[in-house]
Amino acid sequence: MEQENQEINESISQENRKPNNYNNRRPNNNNSSKPNNQNGNKPAGSNPAGSNPANSSKNKSASRGRRRQSTPVDENLKAFVEINQEAHKQRLNPHYKLDLNSKEKIRITPLGGLGEIGGNITVFETQNEAILVDVGMSFPDEDMHGVDILVPDFTYIREIKDKIKAIIITHAHEDHIGAMPYLYKEMQFPIYGSPLPLAMIGSKFDEHHIKEFKQHLHPIEKRKIYKIGEDFEIEWMHMTHSIIDSSSLAITTPAGTIIHTGDFKIDHTPVDGYTADLHRLAHYGDKGVLCLLSDSTNSYNTAPTPSELSVAPALDRVFSKAEGRVLLSTFSSNIHRVFQAIQYGVKYGRKVCVIGRSMERNIEIAMQYDYIKLPKNIFVEPEQIASMNDKDILIVTTGSQGEPSSALFRMSIGEHRHVKIKPNDLIVLSSRPIPGNEGSISGMLNHLQRAGAKIALDRELHVSGHASIEEQKLMLRLVNPKFFLPIHGEYNHVMKHKETAMMCGVPERNIYIMNDGDTVEIAPKYMRKVKTVRTGKTYIDNQNNHKIEDDIVIDRQKLASDGIVMIVAQIDGQHSTMLSKPLVTSFGLVSDKQDKFFAKEIEEVLEHFLANIKEGLIENARALENDLRQVVRKHIYRKMKKYPLIVPHIFVM
């Protein structure tokens, strides 16, 4: 399609240049005649042998006459050039395919997934109804102490819960379904999706002891349109990604059709042979698409994302050279990667031991529902490893991102119950570091290498599951939307995706860079931001699956960065003096040998505070402690440039 546009532009450009070319020739012809005249004034002896000046002049004159003649134009052909140019305009401009007289509109509000990698959740809302697309989790930063996962703030969902008709799932990655149990403990809606995502959501409901909510699961058939409420018709279109059974969505509303890609790449040779359903995307693009929401994660990658099948030769090479045990770690959701690794393990006579709760669960579900087919006799239990020959073992495990609680990390520090790292072990990391995890991965590799293990980190052992620039272009050209909303990525990713969309013919005025909480209203004639709703993150402790309040996390951050000071003092209420020396304890602020000096310093601050106390303050214990807290905090900041947590306990006697 791009080549066709280029050829059209070149032909138009050449047509526009024709008059200028003729004008340019005239002065050149005049100039070239001057030397000829000069030559004609020279003696005859100066002409080349055998030449006739009269004949030469006649030939040149005839040649100039031929050049002045233009090629005859076939008016019929020219008319069809114009007809085809108009056909291209109609084909490439989605404006002509939409009902511009419609007064209908649709509102789109992302509650997570923008300005970050993960936590995807989006609200699609008409006047009377709404649907949610995905309800994902994300991972905490290093300074969120004691926090295992982050789930979206559901405040806006609570406000519109009576409008919500269903939750629509694109695929089974944690950043798209991981927050489902936490939402369903509070409110429930029908859930529509393909079988694998629903099976994994059902497994999560089992873990959280809410099995009764599995009744809300509704499996769908791809390429079939489902009526959701009165305002939404939804079709799931198969899409290739790093997890099987992924989908893009065609969401048809009274205002028009919206295409939501989900996470995607265009893999022409997937492991299972099920290629992306580009035909349905093109079908909707031909009918007319109001808006496209597209994955921006790999917006900077210029080369096409390699096929998942391209990992096979690297795996084969690694297994063929391994002298001892092979421990392969990858994302537990990348079932086709695990499937290929197991196939090569079996090829070289190895038994397979799967370690890690999420890895065990995902492989079990994939086998239960026939997404992959493996004989059960190739698997062994962790307890059997010790009695087996090292060359006969393949361990497939979690921990490729260096998570401290993962199986591979515990193996690296010698704390795993069944597996101790040996000098002839080969560790295969078939993944790329998630931004922010580089430090933890490096630390784990150090532990593994100290134990004597060899590390395989070849680039060929991993391919991305997200679309590069060329695949993003293909999606834009197939769908041909009027409006474009880049999603799924940090701000720089969506900005780069915006540039790609403009290269593919989407006007800049028809592209909006959203932030979490932005409500964008779209109608056939316009797109605009209309409001901002509350968004944020809720902190979750995975040990008990309970919410951690914001102030607890803030206190932990303060303790980690600035320390804590605790003051216990007895005060004479009548004379505003101390009855005994205060007990001052600090952590994370001064060294142990400085404790006595620091306690004496705080005692002097307390004496000065009591000497200048406001009248009547001694009778209000809470106000007294608050004022003392401020005085001590200011003193410590002046001396140490720190704001520790101050915990005073004042007993007025």
- Write the pLDDT tens digit of every residue in 616-641: 778 788 888 888 889 999 999 998 88
At a CB cut-off of 8 Å and minimum separation 6, what does 46 contact?
Answer: 39
Q: Say how many domains are in the chain.
A: 4
For residues 84 and 61, what is the distance between their CA atoms, to the nearest angstrom? 41
CATH of the domain at 382: 3.40.50.10710
Q: Would 448 be classed as within a structural domain?
A: yes
Same domain for 284 and 202, yes or no, is yes
Same domain for 341 and 290, yes or no, is no
- pLDDT > 90? residue 434: no
pLDDT tens digits, residue range 300-350?
999 999 999 999 999 999 999 999 999 999 999 999 999 999 999 999 999
Same domain for 229 and 142, yes or no, is yes
Q: 160: closest CA among 198, 193, 127, 209?
A: 127
- Helix (H) or strand (E) holding 132, with range, is strand 130-133
* Structural domain for 581, as ranges: 563-652
Q: Would 553 be classed as within a structural domain?
A: no
Same domain for 51 and 114, yes or no, is no
CATH of the domain at 505: 3.60.15.10
- The model's pTM: 0.81
State the pLDDT confidence band at 45, using cuts at 50, 70 and 90: very low
For residues 179 and 225, what is the distance between their CA atoms, to the nearest angstrom? 26
Same domain for 591 and 636, yes or no, is yes
Same domain for 47 and 11, yes or no, is yes
Q: What is the pLDDT of residue 555?
A: 86
59/187: higher pLDDT? 187
Same domain for 368 and 501, yes or no, is no
Domain boundary (461, 478, 494) is at: 461
Residues 565-582, mean pLDDT to the nearest whole number: 85
Q: What is the pLDDT of residue 166?
A: 97
Amino acid at 616: G
- Helix (H) or strand (E) holding 234, with range, is strand 232-239
Q: Would 76 be classed as within a structural domain?
A: yes
For residues 598 and 63, what is the distance between their CA atoms, to the nearest angstrom? 105
State the pLDDT confidence band at 96, using cuts at 50, 70 and 90: confident
Q: What is the pLDDT of residue 269?
A: 95
CATH of the domain at 580: 3.10.20.580
Q: Would 147 be classed as within a structural domain?
A: yes
Q: Would 546 be classed as within a structural domain?
A: no
Which alpha helices (H) appear in 263-400, and where do they start and end?
Answer: 278-287, 312-321, 335-347, 357-368
Q: What is the pLDDT of residue 559?
A: 86
Residues 558-570, mean pLDDT to the nearest whole number: 89
Q: 434: closest CA among 249, 180, 175?
A: 175
Q: What is the DSSP letter of 128?
A: S
Same domain for 588 and 507, yes or no, is no
Q: Which of 113-117, 132-136, 142-146, 459-463 has the lowest mean pLDDT?
A: 142-146
Q: What is the pLDDT of residue 535?
A: 94
- pLDDT > 70? residue 424: yes
For residues 584 and 578, what is the distance between their CA atoms, to the nearest angstrom? 14
Classified as helix, coil or strand, 537 is strand
Q: What is the pLDDT of residue 64?
A: 53
